[in-house]
Structure 1
Amino acid sequence: MLKQNHMWTEEELNGNISYNNDTADISEKNSWHNLFESPQWILMNPAEEIVDFYHTYLDSPSRQFRNRTNLQGNKLHDLGCGGGRHLYYFAEYGFDLTGSDLSTNAINFTKFELERRKMNARLNLCPMTDLPYENGEFDITISRAVINHGTLQDMKKVVYEVARTTRKGGLFFVTFSSERASDWKKGTEVLEDVTYIPAEGPEKGLIHTFLSAANAAALLEPFFIIDKLYISEHPPLMPNAPGATDPNEYFGSEYVLIGIRR
């Protein structure tokens, strides 16, 4: 039985979620698609939080964690895989990999790079809100700096889709933009104190949704047991990307959550 909380209505918990399902509209506003046209702006090294996740939860998990979950398989989905940096990382450890992204530039680049490295992963071009996968297909889902680029309703649909496609006892690694980030309340306000559209910078025109720690946890809790929640903060990851602002003025801040599928 799904548990209701202040972030969800009963209808939404049962999958009746109002969200933007206009893929053409989403694609048109995806500024990352244009950045992926050039390898110069594609990040290749895995994020530190992903490396920590692998070592803590997958490589040598504690006995206490093993007692809290029944994780057994190695089918991993990178939702919003971008240029594939986390697929390459997990391929080195023999995971059964799937990557999905809405950008054809990202998918094409990742396909080429996988072939060049003689690595294997299934790639799918699709929106994060409508995943073309079976119920409980994955043991692990990861999504770093992806689902915050949607409205709160879009994010609910993504969480519902991840819960649907991640098997019980499986893991979900996800990040949410925090209200401590320097771009909070910058640009056009869509939802007061929550969602904004930047008017400048490399992500100009792309939706940004910001959450408190409590709301980030509440967004997952009906479907996932929160095992860890912490904050990760950093300077710009691509300080020289087209339209980037002064690095000294930018402060990135995300909540990192690891959840166990209920």
Structure 2
Amino acid sequence: MKHLEQLQIIADQNNGTRAIATGGFNGTLDYITSQLEQNTKLIIQHLYFTVQNYFIQGTPQLQTQINGNLTSPIYLTDFTQIVLSSGAHFETFVPVVPILNFGCEDTDWNNTTVMNLIALVKRGDCSYKQKSALAEKYRVKGLLIYNDGAALDHFQPKQGVNNNWNTTIPAYFLSYNLGVQLANAAGNASVIMNINVSNAYGIRNICADTQTGDKTKTILIGSHSDSVSAGSGINDNGSGTIGNLVLALNLARLFQTSSLRYSTY
């Protein structure tokens, strides 16, 4: 529990979060590193990488033209960004094309002209990343995924959805009501998307290896160490992070014959 309490302290000192690219995230990795350095003989490496399109600059914008009526949907009420999607700077309205079924198969896409247009896809049947990959494959200008209204919590735009790494198209998640309005106006609906994004540089992973064992038969034990932006993430995934840390600390005191790698990312 003392390690979990320390993660909460780190979050409290950093605006209540340990999300990636924040002081809380870096503080978490510093704490794990110090524990491993002080209590084990593991070989510790810090690996750095860049997360593209991670930060949002300003407030994302969306304008709709439905049956000739212009509206400006409200961010977080009517729509939100899909994390890791690219930026967008539309100067004119771009037609919206509803995709058949749930946009999970090539057959949903290849009978419709979507190149350089906005694809509108309903939630369901496959992952959001799969829908986005197909949208990118068919060279859309932008992607709008809308909620399905199938449950009480399926009406608002879903926040915290991640896109694929290195996605080259902008993507928003819409409320059920807005999505239905656009779908019902098929052929007479268009949108303008504007969102500024930037990369997160110097994001760190930790790899800690035992000095013994056959390196060709290494057992990997890992967990993600970041939280959501809205909280300290003690349940997700502080418990997993600390569980692996405690495992590493305890096994370090035992006679080791296997090659083990502990990863925190």
TM-score (norm 1): 0.23
**Structure number with higher strand proportion:** 2
Bigger CA radius of gyration: 2
**Bigger relative contact order (CA 8 A; separation at least 6):** 2
TM-score (norm 2): 0.23
